[in-house]
Amino acid sequence: MEIRLARHGRHIAIVTIDNQSRINAMTRTMLADLGRLCRELERDESCRAIVLTGAGTRAFTRRRYRRRSVRGAGDRAHGQPCAAQD
């Protein structure tokens, strides 16, 4: 389970959600990692585009991954979403 960053040239960041065993469902940790990465890319003046993709061939993502042990803990992500840029 991870969020990976790759570059396609100087200006394009490719962010991959990789949790193939759970159809790329996002865990809380992955959501926080994605939020941190988005903030990092916002500060990177050379980054002009972000491509968000899912690993594997089955699906882009399956919402979020929930285990029984966290059901009562809420579903909010602690990371901030990427801001739209004009």
Q: How far apart are CA 12 and CA 15, in angstroms?
A: 10
Alpha carbons 86 and 74: distance in angstroms, whole number: 33
- DSSP assigned state of 10: T
Structural domains of the chain, ranges and CATH numbers in brackets: 2-65 (3.30.300.220)
pTM score, whole prediction: 0.69
Residue 52: predicted pLDDT: 93
Note the helical H segments in 20-74. 28-43
pLDDT at 67: 57
pLDDT in tens, the chain (86 residues): 899 999 999 999 999 999 888 888 888 899 999 999 999 999 999 999 999 999 988 877 766 555 554 444 444 444 444 554 44
* Per-residue confidence (pLDDT) for residue 72, from 0 to 100: 42
Which pLDDT value is given to residue 84? 46
